[in-house]
Structure 1
Amino acid sequence: MSFKLLVINPGSTSTKLGVYDDETPILVETLRHTSEEICKYKNIYDQFQFRKNVILDSLKKCKVDISTLHGVIGRGGLLKPISGGTYIVNERMLEDLKSGVQGQHASNLGGIIAHEIAKELNLTAYIVDPVVVDELHDVARISGIPEIERKSIFHALNQKAVGKKYANESGKKYEELNVIVAHMGGGISVGAHLKGKIVQVNNALDGDGPLSPERSGNVPIGDLIRLCYSGKYTLEEVMNKINSKGGYMAHFGTNDDRVVEQAAIDGDKKAKAVRDAMLYQVSLEIGKCAAVLNGKVDAIILTGGIAYSSSAVEYIKEKVAFIAEIIVYPGEDELLALVQGGLSVLKGEEVNKVYI
């Protein structure tokens, strides 16, 4: 039996939706929202009805009969830390998505909208591998300041999806392999996957790890503290320097790696230096993950938008190819990853998890 699924992935200024027959796309749409449409709402949850209506209107316009759906899957948001997998959207999850238990982000709306549409159709709603997937070794959480614990917030959906893709292509189970995945997009996360669990990964939301097109990456902590107390910046301004306006944005005013790469090719020495620094730091993070896995690494997977760049891939290969085979899955297909997570439960390949 095949399953027809609706998948929903809300972003800050757009909502991506797809209708799939198993893994075959029937409809894929990116619904853009103007700043005027978004700014009229005080907080993220207030956007719920607006976004839901836009989705339903688009489906109606494209003549999609939602009564034929078998399930609805939303992008998971900033929930409490949970292990990876596919979760039924329940009341406890809805409460935490609405309140923003770990913060406010448009992805919080994914599970809420999926639940409301599914409820009207007497279906079950799911989320898959949200950004708060936490499977860290206990030792990886400890910092030198007792009040501060390291957190796991990263590109879990794509990292898990490409790990499983590599396993499938290798004729093995994801739970049998040790892989390192470097997701390189606006933010960069590098994870050590130990037999199906991501036991080490940098916090890609708060600027931990390599510098990236939008993140500062690790910076000298003493200088950062002095910057915070300089009186020049508010808390919000400093946080923006770290998690949205750092990296390429701070140096060049763009988050497009293709622009910086071309500038480097054209002879811009700063562009080359900063881009090389980013790739150098990705390589360092991969080496750290290899140590976590005791050097027993089946493959290193490069993914995300920057993995389309042959020069980026070659730079990293030169640094870390001695560790393991390099596999490249450029870009990311979050809608398909959501579908695959839902299908794994609907087809009985995995048991859905319950958020508590």
Structure 2
Amino acid sequence: MKKYKIFVINPGSTSTKLALYENATCLLSTNVFHDSSVLIKFPKINDQLMYRMMVIQKFIEDNHVDLTGVDAVVGRGGSCYAVESGIYEVSDQLLQDTREAKGGLYHVSMLGVQLARMVADEYGGRVFMMDPPIVDELCDEARLTGVSGIYRKAVSHALNEKACAKHHARVMHQDYDQVNYIVCHIDGGISITAHRHGRMIDGNDAGGGEGPFTPTRMGSMAVTDMLLYFKDKSPEDIRKLCYEAGGLSSYFHTSDADVIHRMVDEGDEKATLVWQAMIYQIVKYIGAMSTALKGQVDAILLTGGLLRFDDITNTIRKDCGWIAPVYAYPGEFEQDAMAQGALRVLRGEEQLKEYTGKPVWSGFDWD
């Protein structure tokens, strides 16, 4: 059996994750943390490109990695027009639309395909994107807002949530296309999605500031409060609170959850209340997704880096266990999912999706 070399690049709001695979076996990986106090110095996300590229170059140099002849470079995608779930070859059009955030998502995942192309330009290999945050499977009722012509976007940690759901279905000898799950990605960003028979029919707009506040994101606020707070601030100030300067970072001037949770362990009153409020908001959104599934929930799945703190899982089990059994998968499935997706394409086991340069959903007939 031919051995394929696959390099995976996964930029997140607080980290850059890199991994080198031979077929489905991970040979080497790293997870480099970036504090919000550093990232906030870059005026725009695209300005972080060379900073993140230096992280990749250091990983290659420190580990004496030879990427010559790499078969595929997979970048976490985002910010292009909304797409169907699947794996895509990165075209010039996809790259341009991502760089220009044509899909309306302003999130660091947009650097993934740009970095992947830069690596492939130097070492070779095909460039892929898989299940980016703008995978759109919303039901029609979930699209509308209370303002005519303004529609909610599908923005979630689709890559990890889809992979986690499919993994759990295999473990439980279930068919992902026949069950209903609530899947929660809990890390620098937090997304909580309702999966009905293999489709993510609803969820918070995790890239637009909707949902629980997180280590870096402000979460949902009343419009009247936002108008008052932002009356003397720029659109860029608003964007920063939505993706890197809000949430725990706003309270503590750091998004380092280890530092903040240490304060909780030491009995700091403010840190304890803020941390518990974050979990409280997660629980509320799980409840909302249970109603989106009409109470027919087979399991609640938790995944993401913040599950290294047991109090998060324990609180969700206590408060949401009456809805459905709660299962925890700490960490993430993202790197494995991207590598395995590329491997299936390289072996001819899965067809590539074509990026059309148009959103998978563009409005109702009456628009």
Q: TM-score range by the shorter chain?
A: 0.7 to 0.9
Instruction: Give the unaligned 5+ runs of structure 2.
Output: 357-367
CA distance in 2, matches of 1:288, 1:39: 32
CA RMSD for the aligned pairs?
Answer: 3.3
* CA contact 2:107–2:243 (8 Å) conserved in 1: no
Deviates more, 1:298-307 or 1:256-265: 256-265
Q: TM-score, normalised on structure 2? A: 0.83
Which position in structure 2 is the counterpart of 1:310?
310
Q: Which of 141, 144, 153 is matched with 2:146 structurally? A: 144
CA distance in 1, matches of 2:183, 2:90: 28
Q: Deviations over 1:74-110 (max 9, x none)?
A: 1112111112211111232122123332356553343
Which position in structure 2 is the counterpart of 1:22?
23
Which position in structure 1 is the counterpart of 2:100?
99
Which position in structure 2 is the counterpart of 1:326?
326
**1:206-217 equivalences in 2 (<5 Å):** 206-217=208-219
Deviation at 1:243, TM superposition (A): 3.2
Aligned length: 353
- Of structures 1 and 2, the one with the larger relative CO (CA 8 A, separation 6+) is 2
- Amino acid aligned to 2:85: G
Q: TM-score, normalised on structure 1? A: 0.85
- Amino acid aligned to 2:156: F
Deviates more, 1:78-87 or 1:240-249: 240-249
In structure 2, do the counterparts of structure 1 residues 116 and 314 end up closer, same or farther at CA, with 3 Å as the change threshold?
A: closer
Deviation at 1:119, TM superposition (A): 6.5
Q: Which of 138, 162, 165 is matched with 1:163 structurally? A: 165
**1:34-53 equivalences in 2 (<5 Å):** none
* CA contact 2:209–2:242 (8 Å) conserved in 1: yes
CA distance in 1, matches of 2:39, 2:157: 24
* CA contact 2:219–2:242 (8 Å) conserved in 1: yes
CA distance in 1, matches of 2:259, 2:33: 23
Which position in structure 2 is the counterpart of 1:267?
267
Deviates more, 1:234-243 or 1:142-151: 234-243
**1:1-356 equivalences in 2 (<5 Å):** 1=1, 2-10=3-11, 15-29=16-30, 55=56, 59=60, 62-101=63-102, 102=104, 105-115=107-117, 117-118=119-120, 123-229=125-231, 231=232, 233-356=233-356
- Amino acid aligned to 2:256: D
CA distance in 1, matches of 2:257, 2:65: 37
Q: Deviations over 1:159-205 (max 9, x none)?
A: 11211211221223322321111111122110111122111110112
Percent identity reads: 38
CA distance in 2, matches of 1:40, 1:254: 13
CA distance in 2, matches of 1:241, 1:65: 39
In structure 2, the residue corresponding to 1:179 is in which secondary structure?
Answer: strand
In structure 2, do the counterparts of structure 1 residues 344 and 228 end up closer, same or farther at CA, with 3 Å as the change threshold?
A: same
- Amino acid aligned to 1:91: D
- Amino acid aligned to 1:275: W
Instruction: Give the unaligned 5+ runs of structure 1.
Output: none
